[in-house]
Structure 1
Amino acid sequence: MESVNWLALVYGLVGGLGLFLYGMKMMSEGLQKSAGSSLRNILEKLTTNRVIGTFVGLVVTAVIQSSSATTVMVVGFVNAGLMNLVQALSVVLGANVGTTVTAQLIAFKIGKLALPAIGIGVFMRMFTSNKKYHYWGEVIIGFGLLFLGLKIMKDGFVPLRHSEFFQQAFITFSHHPVLAVAAGAVLTMVVQSSSATIGITVAMASTGLIDYYAACALVLGENIGTTITANLAAIGTNPTARRAAFGHFLINALGVCYMLIFLKFFMQAVDVMTPGDPNFVNADGNMPYIARHIANVHTGFNIVNLIIFVPVLHILARLCERMIPGKGNGRDDGLVFLDDCLIETPDFAVSQARKEVSRMSGLALEMLKLSRDAFFSRDTKTINKVYELENTVDLLEKDISTFLVRLNQEQISAETSRELNSILHVLHDLEKIGDYAENIANYTEKLIESDIRFSDEAMLEMEEIYDVAIRFTDNVIKAYNAGGLPRPIDTEDENTIDKMRKQFKNHHLKRLQQGSCSVETGILFVDILNNLEKTGDQAFNIAQVVMGDM
């Protein structure tokens, strides 16, 4: 025990783990930014087919290098009603396989490339102007830091070979694999990264601190521990989202239970397919072949789990429904397509934000139409509907803006940043359209309360300008929601609205001079005209975004 320099050991382990985690984060973010819209398109094509869902979960996790991030996203999608439970569980199964890519990378003997990779990555990041090179520079830096951290951790574990206490502790893991599973689960819950705990396990095994059997039991536990992140993310969500998170735990926990029974046989099968003796110790006291064996056990376990559970996902879903009762696949108010977990994947978050804005645009347009219906029918119930929708639109504008501001503080590409700014502009314009519809509803309420009526000529003019305002707003909103590249849009209606407002205001002055309308009637008439003209202005602002002028 006295021969161990504990301070150096702690520094090495903490520093190595920190470099490993930071390297993982940098590599993940660089890959996401490099993938950009490609990752978004993959996610957009997700269907209810469980096989495709599994494949998508595998690919996305392999790209972003984090099963926790993928499953947290899945919880958000289910909470938003974008996925059903069976579909979500299929993505989780794919994510479990996709996350093993990290372990396979670690098993390659490429630690010597860590420092050159960091040097090349820094050069690409600092001395090139191309954004794509910047992103790939981050990927390469992260790759180098990951392996540098792993090497430091390995070196840190070497002195523990001489500690009788740790030798006995890890021998206990070999004799009692359930304890090793529990230790692996707890360690992963603490670190919040199964990839990091796999790295720690590989480092301990490679230095001979633990044997092959104990390492495999630790890996099984790490597969349980990684599910805690999704379950934490599910707190406060609807029952279906909590079922998706619980389903992830259930899949991994059940898989570990049956795998513990057959673990020795499974390890033998992996040995047959993997070159080298995992228990071979070289002259330096290291075990050069065990890393690949551990990685293959990790991958093999999740592939077997996938094969077993994909055909019975509907049964698993029903079990989750029984264990977590309740109804609900989304929220009546507030955000539907956005969740804080989407911050992890900026490009997909932007795509979901546009869906949320599309939903908000529908509500703003509905408010405008309802304000017209209320005005011509003089119906107070319709006026109240406008007021109710105004509260929802205001809430959406606030919540979406808050989400986008948070997203803008992340490391995002210049293209994503521009799109965020354009969405924020559109949000403001839609909220103002809702405000103008609410103003008109308020003026209509005054008309009803004071029993004021416009002349037939004024009513015809109001009908005419309303038709143009709604038509223009509807066309612009449809063009914006269609997405795609900037394109021309007919904005002549905006000029028509301006001309109508001026013309109808002059007509009103003549009626006032002729005594055919009162001053109070005229004020309300002009106020409504002004709000419809401002509605056209806000729709024109959105049209400029569509045309790429903002």
Structure 2
Amino acid sequence: MDLPLTLLDLAGAIALLLWGVRMVQTGIQRAFGGQLKIWLARALGSRLRALLAGVGVTAILQSSTATGLMVTGFAARGLVGLIPALAVMLGANIGTTLIVQVLSFDVVRVAPVLILIGFLMFQRASAGRRDFGRVFIGLGLMLMSLHQLVSLMQPYENAASVRGFLDAVATQPVLYVVLGAVLAWAVHSSVAIVLLAMSFASHGAIPLDTALAFVLGANLGTAINPVLEGVGGRNPAAWRVPIGNLLNRLAGVAVALLVLPWTVALLTWLEPGPARAVADYHTAFNLVLALVFLPALGPYAALLRRWLPAREDPNDARTPRYLDPAARETPTVALDNAARETVRMAQTLSRMLQGFCTALLHPSRHQISLIRQADDTIDSLNAAIKSYVVSLDADALGETEREQAGRILAFATNVEQAADIVDRNLLGMSAKMLKRGISFSPEGRAELLGLTERLLTNVELAIEVFGQPEMVHARRLAQEKQVFRARERRATAAHFARLRRGVVQSAETSAIHLDVLRDLKQVNAHLVAGAAYPVLEAHRALLPHRVEEGGDEL
């Protein structure tokens, strides 16, 4: 037996298993990812529905980590209550066991057939068929890798050194729990780690109690990922769902370790086959955990709220004020709430532009920092509004509600993009000028202030058009695009005239001046596109292009 080559083969088989799991997950996510997220958001009305939703979504995605990250994001933005969110996590833990149940049977003979079907589907032009083809190929690779693992372990079944090492480690099942947790955390998949333990146990490479400890570690490891990746921000309330899931896993693992000897005896009597015993234990552990914690989610959630109290600043503009989760049952009310939150975004953009005016007159690092905090607010509100709107039941929306939802998403997106221009471009140039101690000429500064004030007026007009989508206001705002372009051209010509007279401070300020003019025009264009164009398009008053075939501007 050539140990180095065998270890290399073993590593390759494990890598093939992980790659197969990844192909299944990415194929499903590409085919159904957006729909699954919307369906999950709709199913969070009660703890039982949330539990079943967690089972279903995770059974399809084959990743409790992915489900955990989605529901943690919902909870962090206040779109779902704590109790349904915790119920989803209990269901997700069950859903991830289903594929293990299927693969615990001797189905390796179908692996080539699955790969062939997947290959043929992948060759088709349809993107959906290609994604399903990826799933079939991934399942086939998983089966082939499991068969390869069993074959590689056969020569070492009775090796004295290997047996002695395994016997020594087997006396400390906690070590296998830690190892399983680390591996599951590293590969973001409890499925792959449980299948690995199942393969080792089926060939006698590790005893059943060690394999079960390995399974406990895999279940624990996947609860770590949402804690590390699914939360952020300063509010401890955002940590409740992932930490709550991790704590109930820890409690379950601790109790399971205490009763492990009796569990092994029971499984040996009920299921002589080690592979089936490992798969059944994986499922039973998560079922028992759900049965124990689901009725107790009320007091458990209250305990989490006490441990992790909300520390929201009532003046924190980043927190949505109007996105009431309960209103989603009534789409008309929910869309009105989303529209009010979107107006807050536009008002924040107005404050950013006002701050930019102040920075032009009295540049300071503090002022620039305040404006950038406002951009963070807009980014946060934009994400919350989009998640809120897309979570509404599309079948319950009439034609009017669909148009309103489209206008909300369009306006929110364009306001966010306009804010990015202010943050990344305008403030970047202000910071550069402050750092280098340069400034605009008085005429140039007055010119930029005039355009910015015109832009502030257009922000107010855009808010009016968004709130009252009437044609007269939409046309007026759309005309502002041509007006603003003409003013930008005149300002550019005046700047070059000053440059010829030598009035401009320096070549560097000249370049910055022209860049600011361009960026202010782009901000104005986003306001028109976000507020006026959807109204004009709904009334079929928006031309498909601005240039005729002869080249004359419409």
Give the TM-score taking structure 2 as reference length: 0.64
Take 2:182 and 2:522, find their aligned partners in 1: how far apart are those partners? 59
Partner of 1:315: 299
Q: Whole-Å Cα distance in 2 between the matches of residues 312 and 369 of structure 1?
A: 46
Structure 2 residue ranges without an equivalent (≥5): 322-336, 362-366, 384-408, 428-441, 447-452, 488-517, 539-543, 546-554
Contact 1:367 1:390 (8 Å CA) reproduced: no
- Asked if 1:240 is matched to 2:237, the reply is yes
**CA pair 331-300 structure 1, distance change in 2 beyond 3 A:** farther
Aligned to 2:403: none
* Deviations, residues 399-425 of structure 1 (Å, cap 9, x unaligned): 9999xxxxxxxxxxxxxxxxx999976
Cα distance, 1:361 vs structure 2: 6.1
What CA RMSD, in Å, does the superposition of the two structures yield over aligned residues?
5.2
Partner of 1:148: 144
Residue 302 of structure 1 deviates from its aligned partner by 0.3
Name the structure 2 match of 1:53: 50
The residue that corresponds to 1:93 in the other structure is 90
Contact 2:55–2:91 (8 Å) recurs in 1: yes
Q: Distance in 2 between matches of 1:197 and 1:254?
A: 21
Q: CA contact under 8 A between 1:371 and 1:437: conserved in structure 2? A: no
2:417 counterpart residue number: 428
* Residues in 2 aligned to 1:489 and 1:137: alpha-carbon distance in whole angstroms: 52
**What is the aligned partner in structure 1 of residue 282 from structure 2?**
298
The residue correspondences of 1:172-187 to structure 2 (distance < 5 A) are: 172=168, 177-187=173-183
Change (3 A) 1:98 1:425: same
| Pair 1:108 & 2:105 matched | yes
Deviates most, 63-72 or 169-178? 169-178
Question: Which digits, 9 at most, give the CA deviation of each residue in 1:392-448, with x for residues without a partner?
Answer: 45446789999xxxxxxxxxxxxxxxxx9999766434656999999xxxxxxx9xx
What's the counterpart of residue 493 of structure 1?
Answer: 476
Could you tell me which residue of structure 1 aligns to residue 13 of structure 2? 16
Give, in whole Å, the separation in 1 of the partners of 2:462 and 2:343: 13
**Conserved 8 A contact 1:184-1:221:** yes
Question: Distance in 1 between the 2:42 and 2:107 partners?
Answer: 36
* 2:24 maps to 1:27: yes
Matches within 5 A, 1:255-270: 255-263=252-260, 266=263
Amino acid at match of 2:527: A
CA deviation map 1:42-61 (0-9, x unaligned) = 13214363223322222222
**Residue 304 (structure 1) shift:** 0.6
Does residue 157 (structure 1) correspond to residue 157 (structure 2)? The answer is no
Task: Map Cα deviations across residues 260-283 of structure 1 (whole Å, 9 max, x no partner).
Answer: 3444555566677x7xx52xxxxx
Counterpart contact for 2:13–2:145, Cα < 8 Å: yes
Q: 1:489 to 1:89 in 2, by over 3 A?
A: farther
Asked if the contact 1:393–1:431 (Cα under 8 Å) also holds between the matched residues in 2, the reply is no
Query: Counterparts of 1:423 and 1:230 in 2: how far apart (Å)?
Result: 28
Shift of 1:181: 3.3
The Cα offsets for residues 19-67 of structure 1, whole Å up to 9 and x where unpaired, read as: 1111111111110121144213213214363223322222222222111
Alpha-carbon shift at residue 68 of structure 1 (Å) = 2.2
Return closer, same or farther for 1:130/1:477 CA change in 2, 3 Å cut-off: farther
**In the alignment, which residue of structure 2 is the partner of 1:412?**
none
Q: Structure 1 residues 330, 190: CA separation in 2 closer, same or farther (over 3 Å shift)? A: farther
Structure 2 match to 1:406: none
Q: Whole-Å Cα distance in 2 between the matches of residues 536 and 491 of structure 1? A: 14
1:195 is aligned to 2:191? yes
Separation in 1 of the partners of 2:338 and 2:148?
A: 45
- Amino acid across the alignment from 2:345: L
Name 1:65's counterpart in structure 2.
62
Displacement after TM superposition at 1:101 (Å): 2.0
More displaced, 9-18 or 49-58? Answer: 49-58
Select which of 503, 511, 527 maps to 1:539: 527
Tell me the CA shift for residue 191 of structure 1. Answer: 4.3
AA aligned to 1:232 is L
Output the CA distance in 2 between the equivalents of 1:67 and 1:391.
36
Alpha-carbon separation, structure 2, partners of 1:230 and 1:220: 17
Q: What is the SS of the residue equivalent to 1:311? A: coil
1:415 alignment partner in structure 2: none
- Tell me if the contact between 1:117 and 1:140 (Cα under 8 Å) persists in the aligned partners: yes
Please name the residue that 1:206 is paired with. Answer: 202
C-alpha separation in 1, matches of 2:254 and 2:308 = 22
CA shift, 1:301, in A, is: 1.0
Q: What CA distance in whole angstroms lies between the structure 2 residues aligned with 1:146 and 1:62?
A: 16
Residues 443-454 of structure 1: matches in 2 within 5 Å?
none
Amino acid across the alignment from 1:40: K
| TM-score of the pair, normalised by structure 1 | 0.64
Given that residues 466 and 532 in structure 1 are in contact (C-alpha distance below 8 angstroms), is that contact kept between their aligned partners in structure 2? no
- Rounded to whole Å, the distance in 1 between the matches of 2:15 and 2:117 is 21
> C-alpha separation between the residues in 1 aligned to 2:57 and 2:15?
24
CA gap of 1:115–1:490, structure 2 versus 1, over 3 A, is farther
Instruction: Give the alignment of 1:220-235 within 5 angstroms.
Output: 220-233=216-229
Q: In 1, Cα distance between the equivalents of 2:222 and 2:410?
A: 35
- The separation in 1 between residues aligned to 2:107 and 2:315, in whole angstroms, is 49
69-78 or 295-304, which deviates more: 69-78
Unpaired runs of at least 5, structure 1: 279-288, 338-354, 381-385, 403-419, 439-445, 451-461, 480-487, 505-529
Tell me how far apart the structure 1 counterparts of residues 312 and 381 of structure 2 sit (CA, whole Å): 22
Q: Indicate the structure whose relative CO is greater, using CA pairs within 8 Å and at least 6 residues apart.
A: 1
Q: Percent identity?
A: 26
Is it true that 1:133 corresponds to 2:129 in the alignment? yes
SS across alignment from 2:296: helix
**Aligned residue type for 1:327:** R
State the match for 1:391 in structure 2: 372
Instruction: Report how far residue 193 of structure 1 moved.
Output: 2.6
Question: Within 2, Cα distance between the matches of 1:34 and 1:388?
Answer: 42
- Cα gap change, 1:397 to 1:261, in 2 (>3 Å): closer
Residues 350 and 456 of structure 2 are in contact (CA less than 8 Å); yes or no, is this contact kept in structure 1?
no
| Count of residue correspondences | 440
Q: Secondary structure, in 3 states, of the residue corresponding to 1:296?
A: helix
Separation of aligned partners in 1, 2:486 and 2:187: 69
Q: How does 1:359-370 map to 2 (within 5 A)?
A: 362-365=344-347, 367-368=349-350
CA distance in 1, matches of 2:478, 2:217: 67
- In 2, Cα distance between the equivalents of 1:493 and 1:436? 28
Relative to structure 1, the CA distance from residue 291 to residue 493 in structure 2 (aligned partners, 3 Å threshold; closer, same or farther) is farther
CA 1:541/1:109 → structure 2, altered by over 3 Å: closer, same or farther? same
Looking at structure 1, the residues matched to 521 and 214 of structure 2 have their Cα atoms a distance apart, in angstroms, of: 68
Q: Which moves more between the two structures, 92-101 or 207-216?
A: 207-216
SS in 1 for 2:294: helix
Map 1:439-478 onto structure 2 (within 5 A): 470-476=460-466
Structure 2 match to 1:414: none
The aligned counterpart of 1:410 is none
Q: How far does residue 16 in structure 1 lie from its aligned partner after superposition?
A: 1.1
Cα pair 2:65 2:189 within 8 Å, conserved: yes
Measure the CA separation in 1 of the matches of 2:154 and 2:184: 22
